[in-house]
Structure 1
Amino acid sequence: MRPSILRRLFRCVVTTAVLGVLPALPATAAPALAAAADTLHQVTGFGSNPGNLQMFAYTPAHVPAGSPLVVALHGCTQSANAYHTNSGWPKFADAWGFDVVYPQTTSANNALSCFSWFDAAKSTRGRGEAASVVQMVEYAQRTYGSDGRRVYVTGLSAGGGMTANLLAAYPDVFAGGSVAAGLPAQCATSQAAASGCQTGPQKLTPAQWGDKVRASYPGYAGPWPRVAIWQGTSDYTVYPANATALRDQWTDVWGVGQTPDGTSTLPGNTTRTVYHDASGKPAVETYSLAGMGHGLPVNPGTGAAQCGSTAAYFLNTVCSAYHTGVFWGLDRGAPGGGGLPAPSGLRVTGVTSDSASLSWSPVAGAASYVVHRDGTKTASTAGASFTDTGLAAGVSYRYTVAAVDTSGAVGATTAAVTATTTGGATVRCHTASNYAHVTAGRARTSGGYVYAIGSGQNMGLYNTFVTHTLKESPAGYFVIADSGCQAGSSEKSP
């Protein structure tokens, strides 16, 4: 149990921040930390701190001991306060009941205030910055009573690269991770190799990428962290190939292969792809944002699935904090609800090409139930079952349910279940020159080369002499399919 006075003592006033300049990207001043002084506080004396990091924390007063902990790592040129202010995590810490720790590096460690994901002396088990982050986790467990089984880490860009390394080096500490515009674990082990990883990581097999994780903590046999991967298709700072390498790396670690178990479409031109573990639970999820550049996806607004604010490297597309939190299960047991428990036994009882049927066990005292599909309320129902209609064929949807008492207060939310409708979205095949693909909006150009929209695959030079077949499925997502495209309907494009 942690007394409220302890929290008040920790809420010190922070007055300065370090913000560097990232080449070829806009530099902006960080928001004044004093504006958030009553919520975000610096913690000193958390450990020996071999990585020379600073610790900041957001600890909502109503969060009891035994709650989850999220560790959030900023990107280059950013600060803990900038990440706290813009990322959206405080909204869900308040709503769902968990603490957030923000490690911060400075120009004393790196000229651009980047976490040293590329330095093995700082990013491996028991060493440097990685060890400092784990000391912050241990401090939170001692001081806030954080649940050691529910510790998660997320980061952007260099913070994303460090996140992947932390997941690899400390799978016994972190139950899940989320890498936004980041790099696969141990992609580079020197600063000289860092830029090569950013623009095009090594062409390794999934097993070779997975071996880098397994070598980070030899002898560890699991369980492994569940990993979300966020990537813009127009990111020219950390290229989309890194998201593919991350996907290959963590699906191999989980032993689930690289064939997806389902796809769905989210706001902000986002395609979510899910890879299930042996029990059918999502182990790895990728979120590809068509046309988004380098940054963290946010979606300002007051909706349940909206969050954050726009700033440099915080891009208005979709609320990544919300969908990451749901993936980790943080939305269960949210505080301040009606006191009713989450319904047990939520399951998918049937699917068709355009519907999904659900059922769950009744909750004593419930007047009704609210059903959410992919984070958005889709229905209220009096009974302990529901059929959702008007869905697209061959698409995966995530559902959660909460009981509502007679006063209208909503209780705790179930874990999400996934329903995949039968059939499939029509596959379209487009054979054309690279020039025609770009003209038709199926690909984009960069540096004289052409990249497929959605997958980001390099199609070669931008001219009329290079021809490819692109497979489109789902709509607006294209992959190279020169070896054959099995289409529901097909066309030859001019």
Structure 2
Amino acid sequence: MKPSEGFLNSMREAMMVLRTRGPTAATEVIQRALRGDPSRPAAGGAEAQARTLPPTAKRAQAPLPLRSKVSLDAEDRSHFDTLTYSNAAGRRQYRLYVPATATSEPMPLIVMLHGCTQSADDFAAGTQMNSLADQHRCLVAYPMQPRQANPSKCWNWFKPGDQRRECGEPSLIAGITREIIARHPVDPARVYIAGMSAGGAMAAVLVDQYPELYAAAGIHSGLPARCAHDLPSALAAMKGGNPSQTLTLESPQRPLIVFHGDADGTVDVANAARIVRAFGMPTQRSRETRGPGSGLRDWTVTRLLSGEGVEAELWTVHGAPHAWAGGDARGSYTDPAGPNASAEMLRFFLDHPIHHHR
């Protein structure tokens, strides 16, 4: 039986998606074709998202910024590779996205730490950071936490052995970062780290312990560095307890941009304010209102400046659950109704190269 033109088109699409977004997304395209439904997005990502979102968020679909400006030829020249890094603490695989726009000129590097139960491909699809990397000529790395290290694939941000410089998981993530810098044309003044949930909590640890390596950090639905020392204290911190744990934090050394939904039932929104507490009093606060009936969320941006001149932004997304604001429904734990956290983080990062605060 001769394959239909629609099926062949789907196979061509799958090959292109395999090169640009990885095997998980390509598998979804193939499964769609086998169901005889090449025109409708696969349900897996949307179903995973629907479990975390209220009805208004499920209806809203935020457009991907400027995606149409990246040609198919450019997508064909990009690549998303799986690599492995090892040191005395163990080994971790990571995915590295190299945009089609890459040249020999030094580029920014963004290190993205996924949340519990997520994978690198899932996180890349949900945040759409690779699309932004195409537009702004950045490398994007996604370290991968295996089940052997944590049954839910969470970064172990709450374990003392994984909270210190050159120990445990921080040493592995920093090692991955240094390996990419050594092997690719990376601008060492523009290396950044971001994460979601447990990944956000680990990003807070990394920027605190390696201020010479990371110029700034983006923390989405996360927690302050070293706010817990075991699983019970981690659960208490996630529910908004342990406020005294953050009072001993030193003055921040690097800029932070923090996103958190104030309806987050997994990590209490109180943690967002605790992350930026060391920056001192806000210098500016503004609220963005999307309008009733729009299906989109309102948010408040609070800008802070430490006594040493280090900047922070706190984005509180009103009514949002435990999900990446403005994310794509192809990834889990995404909230398309919110502001575009990926675009705002990248904007903040590129405004803060490391030499601004040396």
TM-score, structure 1 normalization: 0.52
1:79 to 119, 124, 140: 119
Q: Which residue of 2 aligns with 1:274?
A: 303
Do the aligned partners of residues 171 and 291 (structure 1) sit closer, same or farther apart at CA in structure 2, a change above 3 Å counting? same
Residue aligning to 2:312: 284
Please state if 1:230 is matched with 2:269: no
2:311 partner SS: strand
Q: Which amino acid letter does the alignment assign opposite residue 314 of structure 1? A: T
Matches within 5 A, 1:357-372: none
Q: Which amino acid aligns with 1:94?
A: D
Partner of 2:281: 258
What residue in structure 2 maps to residue 59 of structure 1? 98
User: What is the DSSP-based 3-state SS (H/G/I as helix, E as strand, rest coil) of the residue aligned with 1:284?
Assistant: strand
2:341 is matched with 320
| Equivalent residue in structure 2 for 1:297, among 306, 325, 344 | 325
Identity of aligned residues (%): 25
Contact 2:78 2:99 in 1 (8 A): no
Alpha-carbon distance in 2 for matches of 1:122, 1:94: 33
Q: Distance in 1 between matches of 2:313 and 2:330?
A: 24
Which is greater in Rg?
A: 1
State whether residues 183 and 242 of structure 1, in contact with CA within 8 Å, keep that contact through their aligned partners in structure 2.
yes
How much does 1:259 deviate? Answer: 3.0
Inter-partner Cα distance in structure 2 for 1:87 and 1:13: 12
Q: Of Structure 1 and Structure 2, which has the larger fraction of its residues in helix? A: 2
Q: CA deviation at 1:331?
A: 11
Structure 1 position 260, deviation (Å):
3.1
Measured in 2, the distance between the counterparts of 1:161 and 1:124 equals: 13
Shift of 1:261: 2.7
Deviation digits for residues 24-54 of structure 1, max 9, x if unmatched? x959xxxxxxxx997321012x342624321
Q: Which residue of 1 aligns with 2:44?
A: none
Do the aligned partners of 2:145 and 2:155 also contact (CA within 8 Å) in 1? yes
- Pairs within 5 Å for 1:348-363: none
Structure 2 CA distance for partners of 1:85 and 1:294, relative to 1, 3 Å: same
In structure 1, how many angstroms separate the alpha carbons of the residues matched to 2:83 and 2:331? 26
| CA distance in 2: counterparts of 1:265 and 1:124, whole angstroms | 38
- Contact 1:40 / 1:81 at 8 angstroms: preserved in 2? no
Q: Structure 2 CA distance, aligned partners of 1:43 and 1:49?
A: 17
Residue 195 of structure 2 corresponds to residue 155 of structure 1: yes
1-side partners of 2:288 and 2:88: how far apart?
42
Give me the whole-angstrom Cα distance separating, in 2, the residues matched to 1:186 and 1:192. Answer: 14
CA deviation map 1:423-480 (0-9, x unaligned): xxxxxxxxxxxxxxxxxxxxxxxxxxxxxxxxxxxxxxxxxxxxxxxxxxxxxxxxxx
Higher-RCO chain (CA-CA 8 Å, sequence separation at least 6): 2
Q: Distance in 1 between matches of 2:136 and 2:286?
A: 26
Distance 1:114 1:225 in 2: 24
Residue among 248, 254, 257 paired with 2:277: 248
Matching residue's letter, 1:226: P
Measure how far apart 1:295 and its partner are. Answer: 1.2
Secondary structure at the aligned position of 1:40 is classed as strand
Deviation, structure 1 residue 68: 0.8
Q: Using a 3 Å threshold, how does the CA distance of structure 1 residues 265 and 314 change in structure 2: closer, same or farther? A: same
Q: Give the Cα–Cα distance (whole angstroms) in 1 for the partners of residues 149 and 316 of structure 2.
A: 32
Matched, 1:139 2:182: no
User: Which residue of the other structure, out of 102, 106, 116, is the alignment partner of 2:156?
Assistant: 116
In 2, the alpha carbon distance for the partners of 1:293 and 1:51 equals 34
SS where residue 148 of structure 1 aligns? strand
- Higher-strand-fraction structure: 1
CA distance in 1 between counterparts of 2:298 and 2:248 reads 28
Q: Provide the rounded CA distance (Å) in 2 between the counterparts of 1:266 and 1:174.
A: 33
The equivalent residue for 2:239 is 199
- Two-structure CA RMSD over aligned residues (Å): 3.1
Change (3 A) 1:288 1:68: same
C-alpha separation in 1, matches of 2:233 and 2:315:
26
The structure 2 residue matched to 1:239, chosen from 268, 284, 287, is 268
Q: Which runs of 5+ in 2 are unaligned?
A: 1-18, 26-49, 53-75, 291-296
Q: Distance in 2 between matches of 1:98 and 1:121?
A: 31
Q: TM-score, structure 2 length as denominator?
A: 0.71
- Find the counterpart in structure 2 of residue 183 from structure 1: 223
What is the rounded CA distance, in whole Å, between the counterparts of 1:51 and 1:199 in structure 2?
31
Q: How does 1:428-467 map to 2 (within 5 A)?
A: none
- CA displacement, residues 226-270 of structure 1 (integer Å, 9 cap, x when unaligned): 101111010010001111111213x1xxxxx22333424275311
| Cα deviation digits, residues 57-112 of structure 1 (max 9, x gap) | 00113223411100001000000000111102111101111100100101111010
Contact 1:232 1:289 in 2 (8 A): yes
In the alignment, residue 273 of structure 1 is paired with which amino acid?
T
The letter of the residue matching 1:312 is S
> How many angstroms apart in 2 are the aligned matches of 1:150 and 1:38?
21
Q: For residues 51 and 274 of structure 1, do their structure 2 counterparts lie closer, same or farther at Cα, with a shift above 3 Å needed?
A: farther
Q: Structure 1 residue 201: deviation in Å? A: 3.3
Summarize deviations over 1:387-422 as a string: whole Å, max 9, x none.
xxxxxxxxxxxxxxxxxxxxxxxxxxxx9xxxxxxx
Show structure 1 runs of 4+ deviating over 6 A: 11-14
**Residue 204 of structure 2 corresponds to residue 164 of structure 1:** yes
**Distance of 2:230 and 2:126 partners within structure 1:** 31
Q: Using the alignment, how far apart are the partners of 1:266 and 1:76 within structure 2?
A: 31
Counterpart residue type for residue 283 of structure 1:
E
Q: How many residues align?
A: 282
How much has 1:309 moved relative to structure 2?
Answer: 3.7
| Secondary structure in 2 matching 1:95 | helix
Residues of 1 paired with 2:83 and 2:109: CA distance? 15
Q: 1:169 to 1:15 in 2, by over 3 A?
A: same
Asked whether the 8 Å contact 1:53–1:129 carries over to 2, the reply is no
- What code does the residue aligned with 1:318 have? P
**Equivalent residue, structure 2, for 1:95:** 135
